[in-house]
Structure formats: C-alpha cells, structure tokens
C-alpha cells in the first residue's frame, strides 16, 4: 500500500490505493477545511504533490499553471502510489484559490496610449526687452513658445495676464509656464506662471465620483505615475443612498447642497493627499472625472430631474470643460475639469471610461463589458461597433433591499460555503472580524451555495423540510418576520449580537437583480442577432465586479455560462479610464469618439425585455439549457443527494 508523507512536519500514513487525499490527511491527524463539504466546489483544500502520482487531478478551480505546479484538491484527488504532499498554511492555500484561473485579480489591460498629456510645464528664458526688441510681454512669451516648443497660440487667463508683467520682471525673465494644451481648440491655455524653474511633480487628479464612494488618484504627469489612490464616502449619501433618491432630493431644493457635498468629499481627499505628500493643492493643475450621468450632473450643478422621468433625457451627455473655481474644487482655480462623456441617462462617463480602459474599442473579439453596480450597465461590441444598455438592476448587490445587506467593508461576509452534507455554512469575513452583515459578493456565493446544496430550489424558495431533515434540532432554516430565512451567523457569532440571516424576500430581490442584468444581455444579444455563447470575452469592470466568483455568478445566472477563461476582472475601470485621459490626448479623443459611437438601446421600450426578465427570475434561468454546466452540476448534486 502506498505511503503518504505530509510536509511540513513529515508525518506519514499508509493507506490503500484510491484513497482520497483528504481522508489520508485525516488519518495522519492533519485537518484540512472543506467548507463545501468535500464537493470539489470551494477549492479550499488545495495541497501540493511534491513527489508521486495522484488520480483525478483536474478540477475547474485549478488553472493549468497551478496543475503544472502540482496543486490538487484533497477532496477530489486520489492516491495512486507513494506520495509526498505539501500542506501549506491556510493563508497560502487561500492565495492559491484566489489565483485560480487568474480571474479574481484585476487583469492588467494596457492600451499603451502614447504619452501626450494635456498638461504641460515649460521653462522659458526670455531675452529682456530693449528699444530694438520691444515686443510686448505676451508676444515675447509667444515668440519663445513658438520657437522652442512649437506652441503657436497662447490664451492667457485674465488673472494671469494681470500679474504677467511683474512676474516676468521679478524673475529676471526666467519663468515656468503651466499650460493646458487642450481645452480651447488649438490654443494653449496658460494656467499658471511661476518665477524660475519649477521642479518636482506636476500634479493632476483622476476622480471616480461614485454614487457611494469617491476614489481619487493623485498623478504626477511628469513621470506618468499614480502617487497614491485614496477614497472616501460620497457625502451625498446622507441625502439618499441611490441616484434616484438623490434626484428626488435635488428636486426639493437640494441641488446646491448635493453639489457642495460631493465637492467637499473631493476636497477632503485633496487635503488628505496634500498633508501626506506635503504639497499645496493649488499646485494640482488638472482634474478628470468619471461618473454616472446623475453624479456628473450633480457635480456640475445641473438639475437631474429629467433623468428619472420618462423619456429619461439628461441635460447633457458631453459636458463643457469648467475651471476648478467654477465648481469649488480646491485645486488651482484655473485648472480645468474634464468630465468624461456619457451616452445616456443611465450609461454614464464611468462606462465610456470603462470601455476606454478595457480596450474594448480596439478588440477584434466579440466582447461584453459590464459594470455591475446599482444599474448594471452593459456594452457589447468590437472595435467596429458598440451597443450599450442599462438594466436598472437595483442596488441589492450593494446591500440595499437585503435585510442584513451591507457594503464590502470590514465585517462584511464576502464568501459563504455550505457543506453539502451538513448544510452548515463557513464564512469569510472582510478584515477577519466577527460578521456585521453580508455584501454583494457574499450574497452571490450564498445564493449559489444554497442552490447547489439544495437549501433553496430553483425559484429561490427555501426547502425548509429538507433542511430540517438534514439539520434536525440545530436547523438554520426558520420562519422569520419576512417568511422563511437561513441563518448565516448566530447571534453569538456576530458582531451585533444578533442573527445574520438571508430571507426569502432577500433572495427574491437578488434574483430580480441578477435577472435584470441577464435579461439585458439577452435582449441586446438577440436584437443584434448574436448568441450569448458567441461572446469571446467578458470584461467586468467596477469595484464590485472585482470580488465576484465567476463559477457562482454563473450558477445563479448572473453571468452567461461561458468558459471561465473568457472572463476578465478589470478592477476600477472608471478611474483607470480617467487616468488614461490625464496622460494622453489620444485617450481623450478616443473616449469622445467612443461616446459618440456607442448605440444606446432603451430596454424599457423593448417589448421582449419583460419576457426575458421573467424567464431569468429562476436560478439560473427558466431555460436551464442556457446554462449547461450548471445543469450538469445540479444533476450531479441531485444524483449525489439521492444516492
């Protein structure tokens, strides 16, 4: 019989050929967690074959590279002959799970924009005027700019013109000009003039103004590097959690207040950065923002009312370049602020920015870009064409409409594994603390696990009798205020000292949300004569998207059933696009082109949307044949359960 040695430690046991590695480990007294109940689903039981051979190596949770390195799942692989197995500590095993197929970390997409920032700083040494060379101060600047920098037209803002003469003379005709090359057609706009040669970073900021969070990159235009990323709450939250409630608040006279609140959040971040890196915020000379259409309207003080009223027409989708002074952002008052263009009321600058950052616009592959936030915006296309829609998915994944829902911060349950045999859950909590609630990624995994383990049926109803049968006295399913509910964490295990549950109402909300997104994709694909299975690449943007587990998102029918390698998580594409625009005129041209090129599809006027939505209100879908891998998994589970 083969002998199995476990490292580190060197313990060894002898077991029959064909024994599961998990069982061999147990025999050696080594405990390996199996949150899914040793079903090969969660991937947490990875171990590494250091020598010898095993059978049943393959598992979708392992990438080819990981297999190559010797990783196997202990709950799946079986012993063939003598083995040396590495059992790394839990932390390391989790890392392996996260690296699985490379999908859970943001893919690095590089569009390789040629460096061509709108912001430039040039040092000029001017010849002092004389009777033989009596050019005006402005013409003197212009002459050298033209000769040494090929800048033919200079627009000087009045406040700078008013101090030009003195600055030139006091600095002995040696000055550094800060120029915006790009806001007034072919004219370079002078934003600042400083005596002598200015060294050090040339600051600009890229800002993702989210409904919930404001995230800011401090960028050094000279080096092209992001110095630091900081984020804070969008202070508007105190006046409404989602865009609709803010629009309503603005209609009641709150527009100016909302404008002020988001600017305050931005100014707080600026203060934080300036204190940390010891600079004056007046030295920040440009700002590019990406945000949804409502947030852009509120930031610029544009009334958003018509965004929520049929026919959903915003004031603008392309916004005038404004100066910081005009909106109150505490950077250089003459610095320009460029808001990335939107496409429609519910497809904003965050999406055009995402398309820019994702390089969708230059791919040959049929690509789906999605940003799963409150709305669920979708773009389908190639470099040749792009169609977009917004699914009005609702904010369930952001915690609203879910009893113990919360955002993905410390204390949020971000992953749930349910043991198929015991139906007991294992939780991952952000920050490793006692749980306070459950966030979007936690909800997806909970739903998928409940489905696969038979806690809920495909319509989302909790199968109370079955759970009762398995769990007996300690059943986690019970009747609560909102009907049946599953207890994720008992009061004693929770931060608040109260049970954390997922109710049938919560589950219905989540199903509605995922159904809206899937229906949007389905309608768009059909209208374009495309099969969802034809999609060659799925790019998932947005902060939330980054934490989705693909397998489980497919299992609940949020994502189409495609091979996992077609999915890529891109992280905060909204901010990444804004950063690109700071660094390259070409990126800015491109995002304007993208906004102009995208065809907006209004789902509300599409008769088939409601049908698709109803059909998608099942797990994963009424037509399970659209999800063959899920069908297979459920059949296997069903077979296992009945065996």
Measured from the CB atom, is 424 or 602 closer to a second copy? 602
Measured from the CB atom, is 184 or 641 closer to a second copy? 184
User: What minimum distance in Å lies between the beta carbon of 131 and a second copy?
Assistant: 4
DSSP 8-state class, residue 405: B
Measured from the CB atom, is 153 or 636 closer to a second copy? 153
Query: Degrees (nearest 5) of the Cα angle 259, 260, 263?
Result: 90
The tokens of 193 are what? 């003039």
User: What minimum distance in Å lies between the beta carbon of 118 and a second copy?
Assistant: 16
The tokens of 550 are what? 């693909």
Going by their DSSP bridges, the two strands 3-7 and 83-86 should be labelled as parallel
Report the SS3 class of residue 337: strand
User: What minimum distance in Å lies between the beta carbon of 199 and a second copy?
Assistant: 27
Give the closest residue to 404 by CA, choosing from 482, 516, 320. Answer: 482
Measured from the CB atom, is 130 or 643 closer to a second copy? 130
Site of interaction with a second copy (CB under 8 A) = 129-140, 155-158, 161-166, 169, 184-187, 300-303, 305-306, 310-320, 322, 326-327, 344-345, 600, 602, 604-605
User: What minimum distance in Å lies between the beta carbon of 520 and a second copy?
Assistant: 17
Measured from the CB atom, is 186 or 638 closer to a second copy? 186
Report the SS3 class of residue 415: strand
User: What minimum distance in Å lies between the beta carbon of 303 and a second copy?
Assistant: 5
Measured from the CB atom, is 163 or 276 closer to a second copy? 163
Counting other chains too, the contacts that 277-280 makes at CB distance below 8 Å and 24 or more residues apart are 277/218, 277/227, 277/228, 279/201, 279/203
User: What minimum distance in Å lies between the beta carbon of 190 and a second copy?
Assistant: 10
At residue 16, φ and ψ (nearest 5 deg) are: -70, 155
Measured from the CB atom, is 133 or 534 closer to a second copy? 133
User: What minimum distance in Å lies between the beta carbon of 594 and a second copy?
Assistant: 16
Measured from the CB atom, is 228 or 251 closer to a second copy? 251
| Residue 360, burial from CB neighbour count under 10 angstroms (0-12, 13-18, 19+) | buried
Tally: H helices and E strands in the chain: 19, 29
Instruction: Mention every residue, 6+ apart, whose C-beta is less than 8 A from residue 147.
Output: none
Residue pair 575/206 in contact by the 8 Å Cβ criterion: yes
User: What minimum distance in Å lies between the beta carbon of 250 and a second copy?
Assistant: 11
- CA quadruple 25, 31, 37, 43: dihedral, nearest 10: -80
Counting other chains too, the contacts that 467-473 makes at CB distance below 8 Å and 24 or more residues apart are 467/423, 470/421, 470/422, 470/423, 471/422, 471/423, 471/424
Q: How far apart are the first and last CA of the chain?
A: 29
User: What minimum distance in Å lies between the beta carbon of 569 and a second copy?
Assistant: 32
Measured from the CB atom, is 15 or 603 closer to a second copy? 603
């Amino acid at each position: 019989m083969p002998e199995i040695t476990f490292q580190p430690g060197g313990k060894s046991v002898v077991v029959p050929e064909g024994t599961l590695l998990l069982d061999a480990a147990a025999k050696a007294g080594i405990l390996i967690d199996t949150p899914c109940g040793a079903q090969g689903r969660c991937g947490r039981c990875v171990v590494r074959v250091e020598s010898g051979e095993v059978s049943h190596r393959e598992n979708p949770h392992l990438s080819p590279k990981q297999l190559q390195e010797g990783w196997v799942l202990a709950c799946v692989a079986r012993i063939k002959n003598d083995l040396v197995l590495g059992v790394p500590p839990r932390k390391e095993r989790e890392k392996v799970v996260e690296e699985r197929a490379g999908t859970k970390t943001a893919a690095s997409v590089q569009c390789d924009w040629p460096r061509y920032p709108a912001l430039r700083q040039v040092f000029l040494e001017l010849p002092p005027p004389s009777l033989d060379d009596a050019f005006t101060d402005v013409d003197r600047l212009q002459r050298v700019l033209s000769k040494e920098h090929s800048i033919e037209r200079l627009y000087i803002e009045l406040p700078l013109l008013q101090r030009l003469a003195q600055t030139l003379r006091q600095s002995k005709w040696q000055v550094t000009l800060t120029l915006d090359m790009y806001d007034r057609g072919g004219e370079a706009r002078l934003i600042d003039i400083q005596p002598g040669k200015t060294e050090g970073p040339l600051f600009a900021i890229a800002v993702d103004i989210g409904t919930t969070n404001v995230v800011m990159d401090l960028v050094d235009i000279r080096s092209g590097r992001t110095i630091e990323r900081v984020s804070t709450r969008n202070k508007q939250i105190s006046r409404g959690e989602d865009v609709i409630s803010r629009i309503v608040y603005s209609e009641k006279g709150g527009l100016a207040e909302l404008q002020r609140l988001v600017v305050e959040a931005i100014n707080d971040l600026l203060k934080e950065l300036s204190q940390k890196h010891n600079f004056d915020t007046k030295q920040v000379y440009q700002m590019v923002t990406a945000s949804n259409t409502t947030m852009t309207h509120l930031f610029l003080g544009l009334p958003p009312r018509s965004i929520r009223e049929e026919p959903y027409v915003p004031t603008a989708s392309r916004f005038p370049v404004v100066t910081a002074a005009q909106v109150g952002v505490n950077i250089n008052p003459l610095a320009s602020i460029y808001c990335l263009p939107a496409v429609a009321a519910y497809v904003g600058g965050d999406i055009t920015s995402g398309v820019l950052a994702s390089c969708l616009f230059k791919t040959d592959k049929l690509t789906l870009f999605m940003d799963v936030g409150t709305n669920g915006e979708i773009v389908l296309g190639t470099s040749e064409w792009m169609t977009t829609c917004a699914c009005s998915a609702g904010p369930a994944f952001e915690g609203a409409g879910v009893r113990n829902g919360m955002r993905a911060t410390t204390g949020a349950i971000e992953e749930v594994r349910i043991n198929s045999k015991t139906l007991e859950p294992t939780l991952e909590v952000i920050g490793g603390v006692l749980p306070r609630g459950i966030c979007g990624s936690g909800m997806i995994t909970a739903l998928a696990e409940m489905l696969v383990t038979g806690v809920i049926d495909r319509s989302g109803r909790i199968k109370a009798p079955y759970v009762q049968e398995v769990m007996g006295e300690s059943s986690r399913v019970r009747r609560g205020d909102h009907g049946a509910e599953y207890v994720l964490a008992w009061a004693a295990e929770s931060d608040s000292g109260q049970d954390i549950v997922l109710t049938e109402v919560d589950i219905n909300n989540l199903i509605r949300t995922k159904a809206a997104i899937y229906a949007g994709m389905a309608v768009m694909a059909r209208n374009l004569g495309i099969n969802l299975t034809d999609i060659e690449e799925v790019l998932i943007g947005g902060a939330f998207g980054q934490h989705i587990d693909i397998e489980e998102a497919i299992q609940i029918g949020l994502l189409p059933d495609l091979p996992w390698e077609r999915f890529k998580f891109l992280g905060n594409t909204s901010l990444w696009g804004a950063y690109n625009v700071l660094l390259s005129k070409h990126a800015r041209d491109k995002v304007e082109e993208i906004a102009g090129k995208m065809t907006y599809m209004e789902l509300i006027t599409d008769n088939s949307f409601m049908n698709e939505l109803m059909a998608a209100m099942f797990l994963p879908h009424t037509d399970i044949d659209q999800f063959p891998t899920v069908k297979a998994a459920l059949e296997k589970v069903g077979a296992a359960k009945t065996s």
